[in-house]
Amino acid sequence: GGSGGKWATQGTLLMGPYLAAAEDDRTWQQLKGTSGHAELSGTVFITSTDPVTSNSGALYLAAASYVADGGRVATDARAVERTAPLMRKLVQVQGAQQTSSDAPFRDFISGVGNPLVLVYESQVASLLMSSQRQEVGDLVVLYPDTTVSSDHTLVPLTDHGRELGELLSTDPVLRKLAVRHGFRPQGAAAEFTAATAGHTAYIDQRLTGVRQAPVPTAELLRSMARQARG
């Protein structure tokens, strides 16, 4: 990835090796290059949100279970059972979880959170576009090599709602506002690229090498989340 100052500010999180480390209860102290960093201690884990009540937490399990089961999406209860022990480990090592990805990200930026936190790209992009360089600190953005995109879907209940939906996708001002908040509006790749042009040390505009994992049905994903939380 790009670099800023003395350290790389962007990289790739290899989900296979990460899940293997989680399976083995790997600690930060067992990793190379962590000596002298007192904050890097204890079990290596990613802070995510509660998978039962939060979209990002559930999608984390969807991607992790897909990788853990050899690149297969869970299609029945047996498949959910196969990865359940590892999914439980990913969730329960975190202790109490938040219901929104906003709180863990704010903790992380203020320096009091876990060293690894799962957030939306839009949160990082929005921070970069609205902050001074020193406010970003020693942030490093890791794109998982296998992930799930979160679509923000508008469901119109009235004609006015339908008109709003059309405006959100076609009105240049509204699309510009969406980009300012870090989102990638459909059909607005050029606008996102232009808005993040000064932040390519952190943002992977093309999402190079990022594979999209299919998502289980809502029923199976709920079952996976409930079992993981225990």
| pLDDT tens-digit series, residues 156-176 | 999 999 999 899 888 989 988
Positions in the chain whose pLDDT score sits under 50: 1-5
Domains of the chain, by residue range, sit at 3-148+209-229
pLDDT at 211: 94
- Tokens of residue 224, six digits: 């996976």
pLDDT at 198: 93
* Of 48, 13, 11, nearest in space to 202 by CA: 11
Residue 27: strand, helix, or coil:
strand
How many Å apart are CA 70 and CA 158, to the nearest integer? 44
How many Å apart are CA 7 and CA 134, to the nearest integer? 14
Instruction: Report the interhelical angle of 102-109 vs 121-130 (nearest 10°).
Output: 50
Q: What confidence tens digit (pLDDT) does each residue in 101-148 have?
A: 999 999 998 888 889 999 999 999 999 999 876 678 889 999 999 999
Q: Which residue has the tokens 């350290």?
A: 7
CB-side neighbour CA atoms (13 Å) of 125:
22
Do residues 117 and 108 lie in contact, with contact meaning Cβ atoms separated by under 8 Å?
yes
pLDDT at 3: 41
pLDDT at 170: 87
pLDDT at 1: 40
pLDDT at 6: 61
How many Å apart are CA 84 and CA 78, to the nearest integer? 10
Do residues 78 and 216 lie in contact, with contact meaning Cβ atoms separated by under 8 Å?
no
pLDDT at 230: 84
pLDDT at 189: 83
